């Protein structure tokens, strides 16, 4: 998988006097070049998560006082950005799962004509353009 910046927008925020601009990175397959990508969760990572959740349930069953902490922490953990660690991408056309965090096929920046699926079906990530490693997506 690769990623290329296809859209850019101003967030309205200001950082040290400079406006913050956010780029939308579109995920594509390195092998076939398709933007037809799906998200999946590897079995091993789901197994580890279920073991941790089961451990928390057993902790609550042994001592009911832990329930007060477990419910809010569980709800918060569903919405934290670290859940992206669990995500992996897979190409729907060729089933490729190898990921690179760069524009490996050298697609032209901000050129939506290379996209082979409707825009709302494309997998997207967001990054500030002033981040140092943004250049790897160009």
pLDDT at 21: 82
pLDDT category of residue 109 using cuts at 50, 70 and 90? confident
For 70, 120, 121, the CA distances from 53, given in Å and listed in that order, are 10, 33, 32
Q: Which residues contact 113 (CB under 8 A, 6 or more apart)?
A: none
Q: Would the pLDDT of 81 be above 60?
A: no
* pLDDT tens string 21-63: 888 888 999 888 899 999 887 777 777 777 777 877 787 788 8
CA-closest candidate to residue 85, choices 120, 51, 49: 49
């Amino acid at each position: 998988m690769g990623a290329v910046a296809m859209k850019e927008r101003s967030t309205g925020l200001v950082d040290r006097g400079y406006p913050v601009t956010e780029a939308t990175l579109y995920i594509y397959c390195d092998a076939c070049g398709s933007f037809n990508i799906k998200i999946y969760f590897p079995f091993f990572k789901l197994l580890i998560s279920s073991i941790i959740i089961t451990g928390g349930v057993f902790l609550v069953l042994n001592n009911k006082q832990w329930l007060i902490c477990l419910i809010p922490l569980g709800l918060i953990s569903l919405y934290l950005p670290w859940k992206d660690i669990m995500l992996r991408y897979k190409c729907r056309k060729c089933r490729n799962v190898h990921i690179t965090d760069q524009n490996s096929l050298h697609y032209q920046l901000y050129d939506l004509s290379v996209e082979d699926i409707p825009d709302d079906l494309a997998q997207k990530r967001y990054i500030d353009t002033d981040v140092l490693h943004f250049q790897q997506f160009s």
